[in-house]
Structure 1
Amino acid sequence: MKNYRAELTGVFGDPVDDNPTGVVEEAAFAAKNLNYRYLTIKVLPEDLGKAMDSVKIFDMKGINLTMPHKIKVLPYLDELSPAAEIIGAVNTVIQKEGKLFGENTDGKGFVTALKNSGETLDKKNVTILGAGGAARAIAVECALNGAAYINIINRSIEKGEELASLIQMKTDSSAKYLNWKNNMAIPSDTDILINATSIGFSPNVTDKPDIDYTSITPEMCVCDVIFNPAETIFLKTAAENGAKTITGLGMLVQQAALNFTLWTGVEAPVDVMEDALKKEFE
């Protein structure tokens, strides 16, 4: 008998109109010949509870959460992954038999992209610019994957100290907060430097983090979470100093691939997803 009902996934956010995840996931569903759909849905903050109920009512396979719902969704979930519990934020929900399971694939996507480039986090010193949602997820996953030391550079003292303290208390890594001053020098023992802020994101493509770029050395691996444009001025300047660079495209694709597998149980066609994303930003 022909089945006309597609399995549903999607994203809840506000704003959400410019979120490209649907293009990537739909390309993957088509490549694997799966009758799945990815819906991009505007959900106002005051309607989040009803929206999460709808995930169960519509028997959706799951949903992504983007701003401003990643933390506010926690009370509506039945269970959290160990990483999501430490991070205190969720970007992916899996629904099974009326139960909602929360995961955070942002940091996992970053770590996978980093390892695919030939890097390892084991016993490495990591410096992260920012202390927001992306920074939290990346910092926790770096710690859980063996980083020895994590520097958190942030302008808000409260948020920076809170994240460094979280790493110290909940993982085996050491962490320290550094107040972000003008023309900030990157600690010289840094192995991996990560821009986890939104500085340089389209349309503000000429912006770059206010750091001392002469403190970036060829021994460092420099990463950006920004995927549009992929080659940010931050990365271009780091490359001019001889550093290895990794764009934000890998992180975005790898976290989308993790979402795909969590929802479908099928191995993600990563190459297809990467091509779909690149075409979207050409």
Structure 2
Amino acid sequence: MPGFLADLTGSFATSAAQNPTVAIMEAAYADAGLDVRYINCEVPPERLGDAVRGAIGMGWLGFNCSIPHKIAILDYLDELAPSAAIIGAVNCVINDNGRLTGENTDGQGFVNALRTLIDPAGKRIVVLGAGGAARAIAVESALAGATHIEIVNRTVARGEELADLVASRTPSSASFTAWAGTYAVPGGTDVLVNATSIGFFPSTDTPDVDFSTVGPGMVVADVVANP
């Protein structure tokens, strides 16, 4: 019979106030006739463990992880889905009676969206950034058949690690370019992706890219939805 206890899901992020996922998910739950709520939670890095234990204690079905928790959450999981294990980052956690499994839908969603414009198979892709979203996009694009992934990042060690990951764990080749000053997009690039947090609301900054090097027919994508 109908009751007043809905199942709970949500998102852990900093900052949570600008995350529109709650509107999308609650509309989807309502459309599917599910008695489920989605709660945006402001969770600073030092309280991530508390948030995870709280979700388990309250019997949440699962939760999303956004900036800056997509890699740190790995320390609290019992299992990783195969693609998430390669990516080394998680944005979706499933709670099965206290056993937590991490999935990564960031890269899959990106590739599905990209295919509405261009098939990544056989393409050369430049990814700006080397964080959680960049890892997911780089790995899934490589698994989708991209011939080469170039990682561009200011922190050299992190960028080199991601390029090595793509080259060693996927069929694609990969390289790293240190982002020092204005970045010029190489000729022959098919897709340019901003997978950094640059421009995240309320900032209106843009990546330091020489946009005159963005050629005709090149697809440009941005993971930051900043209206």
TM class by shorter chain equals over 0.9
Q: Which is helix-richer, 1 or 2?
A: 1
Instruction: Say whether 1:212 aligns with 2:210.
Output: yes
1:57 Cα deviation (Å)?
A: 2.5
**Residues 184 and 57 of structure 1: is their aligned pair in 2 closer, same or farther, counting only changes over 3 Å?**
closer
**Residues 9 and 89 of structure 1: is their aligned pair in 2 closer, same or farther, counting only changes over 3 Å?**
same
Runs of 4 or more above 6 Å deviation: none
Q: Which residue of 2 aligns with 1:131?
A: 130
Q: In 1, are the aligned partners of 2:71 and 2:132 still within 8 Å (CA)?
A: no
Aligned length: 227
**Residues 151 and 44 of structure 1: is their aligned pair in 2 closer, same or farther, counting only changes over 3 Å?**
closer
Q: State the distance in 1 between where 2:198 and 2:61 align.
A: 34
Higher relative contact order (CA 8 A, sep 6+): 1
**Residues 179 and 100 of structure 1: is their aligned pair in 2 closer, same or farther, counting only changes over 3 Å?**
same
1:86 Cα deviation (Å)?
A: 1.6
1:58 Cα deviation (Å)?
A: 2.0
1:81 Cα deviation (Å)?
A: 1.1
Deviations 1:191-236 (A, max 9, x none): 111111222333332x32222222111131111112113xxxxxxx
Instruction: Name the TM-score, length of structure 2 as normaliser.
Output: 0.92
Mean Cα deviation higher: 47-56 or 74-83 = 47-56
Question: Among the aligned pairs, what percent are the same residue?
Answer: 50
1:42 Cα deviation (Å)?
A: 2.6
Q: State the distance in 2 between where 1:197 and 1:68 align.
A: 12
Deviations 1:120-140 (A, max 9, x none): 111111011122222111111
Instruction: Say whether 1:80 aligns with 2:68.
Output: no
SS in 2 for 1:176: strand
**Residues 33 and 159 of structure 1: is their aligned pair in 2 closer, same or farther, counting only changes over 3 Å?**
same
Q: Which residue of 2 aligns with 1:158?
A: 157
SS in 1 for 2:72: coil
**Residues 202 and 45 of structure 1: is their aligned pair in 2 closer, same or farther, counting only changes over 3 Å?**
closer
Q: Which is strand-richer, 1 or 2?
A: 2
**Residues 222 and 68 of structure 1: is their aligned pair in 2 closer, same or farther, counting only changes over 3 Å?**
closer
Instruction: Name the TM-score, length of structure 1 as normaliser.
Output: 0.75
Unaligned runs of 5+ in 1: 230-282
Deviations 1:17-76 (A, max 9, x none): 332211111111112221110012233434333332332322211111123322222122
Q: State the distance in 1 between where 2:128 and 2:14 align.
A: 25
